[in-house]
C-alpha cells in the first residue's frame, strides 16, 4: 500500500506539524529580493497536532496551539517532513515561541 494512499499524517505526543509561510520576495519599497536574501521564514501555520505528551502522573498534557493558528517558530530546531512532495516541519509544542491572534 503506497504511502500516497494515506490522506492524513498524525504527529505523535507533543509534536506539531507546521507549514512555513511564504518568504517575502520584495522589500517594503517593492524591490525584488534574491533567494539568498530572503532568509528562513519563522512564521508558520499549524497543519496537524499530536495528542499531547504524557506527564509523570500519566496525564496527557493538552497542546497550546491548534490547527490553523499562526505561530512563531524558533530560529533553530524542528524536523523536516516531506508529505506528498511538500515540505513541512515538526516542532515540539514547548519549543514554539508564541502565536499571532486577531
Residue 75 contacts a second copy per CB under 8 A: yes
Residue 32 contacts a second copy per CB under 8 A: no
Specify which residues 92 forms β-bridges with: 15
From the list 5, 98, 93, the residue with the least C-alpha distance to 52 is: 93
Residue 43 contacts a second copy per CB under 8 A: yes
CA distances from 62 to 52, 56, 65, 97 (A): 5, 14, 9, 17
Residue 89 contacts a second copy per CB under 8 A: no
| Selected binder of a second copy within 12, 31, 34, 35 (CB under 8 A) | 12
Residue 94 contacts a second copy per CB under 8 A: yes
CA distances from 59 to 34, 63, 80 (A): 48, 13, 29
Point out which residues bind a second copy (CB under 8 A). Answer: 1, 3, 5-13, 15, 17, 21, 43, 48, 50-51, 54-59, 61, 64-65, 70, 72, 74-75, 79, 81, 90, 93-94, 96-102
Amino acid at each position: 500500500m503506497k504511502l500516497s494512499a494515506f490522506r492524513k499524517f498524525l504527529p505523535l505526543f507533543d509534536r506539531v506539524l507546521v507549514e512555513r509561510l511564504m518568504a517575502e520576495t520584495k522589500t517594503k519599497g517593492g524591490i525584488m529580493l534574491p533567494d539568498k536574501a530572503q532568509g528562513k521564514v519563522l512564521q508558520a501555520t499549524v497543519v496537524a497536532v499530536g495528542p499531547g505528551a504524557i506527564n509523570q502522573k500519566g496525564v496527557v498534557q493538552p497542546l497550546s496551539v491548534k490547527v490553523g493558528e499562526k505561530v512563531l517558530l524558533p530560529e533553530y530546531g524542528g524536523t523536516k517532513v516531506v508529505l506528498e512532495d511538500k515540505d513541512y516541519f515538526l516542532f515540539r509544542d514547548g519549543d514554539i515561541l508564541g502565536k499571532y491572534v486577531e
